[in-house]
């Protein structure tokens, strides 16, 4: 079903829910306070936009992503080849496992010696917020707001950590593509995947949405702020301006010891022109497309 250009969608109900948490895992990220938010009914892609879908967009429009224009993008060092690694000297001081790799882009997620040939049903990565917005417009959709994304993640469960409940591995099963082992040195891939997984490899939530946490981080339309009003909000769209955009859900690189962000209330941010080897998106729309 991922072969359809627009992707399958789930229709979510119009409802009030509790956004954020009063028990933040990472308080500095502005996960709290918990607050009542109403979202009108909307449609959400049931899975992250795949390489196959993004390729259809690029073939139809000739679109060139920002990573392709810049000539490089960030790749997690654990998945970069020794050959590529030997050509890099610069790294991000606060996060030395991120390497700026020349020639890394959505078609070559880990650099020029990598490709997506056997990953067409995986989430597209190395796409910026601007790239993601362009794709969603092309399919007559848009990025979800943070409130819509979080409502979708929670799948009508109240005050739970994950889209499926509070236990990370119910009955010993993996419900998301995350990191097992020791970050960043050892990924045991107990869930079956060291990098991205084909979309829908893990169980969907009550709204029929897959990989809301884990696999690839997902861009939302909101500008980033860590301050939120507790006044009742109706279809909030975030601050009017900012420097960073909100991303949600965590990725295959997330482990509790370093990135406990695979919870519905968790959030993080990047500038809209950023791209990385663990960051993708899905689209939303008012009406079915």
- The site for Ca ion (CB under 5 A) is made up of 177, 191, 193, 211, 215-216, 249, 252
Closest CA to 91 of 83, 99, 101: 99
Say how many C-beta atoms besides its own lie within 10 A of residue 183's C-beta: 17
Minimum CB–partner distance for residue 10 and Ca ion (Å): 15
Q: Which is nearer to Ca ion, 19 or 209 (by Cβ)? A: 209
What are the residues whose beta carbons fall under 8 Å from the beta carbon of 256, sequence distance 6 or more?
Answer: none
| 35/278 with CB nearer Ca ion | 278
Q: How far is the CB of 182 from Ca ion (least distance, A)?
A: 13
Q: Which is nearer to Ca ion, 46 or 285 (CB)?
A: 46
Nearer to Ca ion, 151 or 252 (CB): 252
Rounded to whole angstroms, how far apart are CA atoms 261 and 170?
A: 18
Q: How far is the CB of 102 from Ca ion (least distance, A)?
A: 27
Measured from the CB atom, the residue of 114 and 201 that comes closer to Ca ion is: 201
Tokens of 170: 């119910």
Task: Give yes or no for a contact between 163 and 214, defined as CB atoms under 8 angstroms apart.
Answer: no
Q: What are phi and psi of 181, to 5 degrees?
A: 110, -150
- What letters, b where the CB count within 10 A reaches 16 and e where it falls short, cover 1-32? ebeeebbebbebeeeebbbbbeebeeeebbbb
Output 74 or 175, the one with its CB closest to Ca ion.
175
| Least Cβ distance, residue 134 to Ca ion (angstroms) | 20
Closest separation between CB of residue 82 and Ca ion, Å? 22
- If the CB atoms of residues 113 and 190 are measured against Ca ion, the closer one turns out to be 190
CB count, 10 Å around CB of 42?
23
3-class DSSP state of 268: strand
**Cβ atoms 133, 143 nearer than 8 A:** yes
Residue 123 Cβ, how far from Ca ion at the closest point, in Å? 7
- DSSP, res 284: E
Shortest Å distance, C-beta 177 to Ca ion? 5
């Amino acid at each position: 079903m991922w072969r359809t250009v627009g992707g399958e969608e789930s229709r979510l109900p119009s409802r009030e829910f509790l956004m954020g948490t009063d028990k933040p895992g990472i308080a500095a990220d502005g996960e709290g306070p918990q607050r009542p938010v109403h979202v009108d009914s909307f449609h959400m892609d049931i899975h992250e936009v795949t390489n196959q879908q993004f390729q259809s967009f690029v073939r139809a429009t000739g679109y060139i992503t920002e990573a392709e224009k810049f000539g490089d993008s960030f790749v997690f060092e654990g998945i970069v080849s020794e050959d590529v690694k030997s050509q890099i000297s610069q790294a991000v001081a606060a996060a030395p496992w991120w390497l700026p790799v020349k020639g890394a882009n959505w078609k070559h997620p880990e650099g020029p010696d990598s490709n997506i040939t056997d990953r067409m049903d995986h989430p597209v990565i190395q796409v910026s917020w601007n790239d993601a917005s362009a794709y969603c417009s092309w399919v007559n959709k848009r990025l979800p707001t943070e409130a819509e994304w979080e409502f979708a993640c929670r799948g009508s469960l109240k005050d739970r950590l994950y889209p499926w409940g509070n236990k990370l591995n119910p009955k010993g099963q993996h419900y998301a593509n995350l990191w097992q082992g020791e970050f960043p040195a050892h990924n045991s891939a107990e869930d079956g995947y060291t990098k991205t997984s084909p979309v829908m490899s893990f169980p969907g939530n009550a709204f029929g949405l897959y990989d809301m946490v884990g696999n690839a981080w997902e861009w939302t339309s909101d500008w980033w702020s860590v301050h939120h009003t507790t006044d009742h909000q109706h279809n909030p769209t975030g601050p009017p301006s900012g420097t960073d955009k909100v991303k949600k859900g965590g990725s295959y690189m997330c482990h509790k010891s370093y990135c406990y962000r695979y919870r519905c209330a968790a959030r993080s941010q990047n500038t809209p022109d950023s791209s990385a080897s663990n960051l993708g998106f899905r689209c939303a729309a008012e009406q079915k497309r």
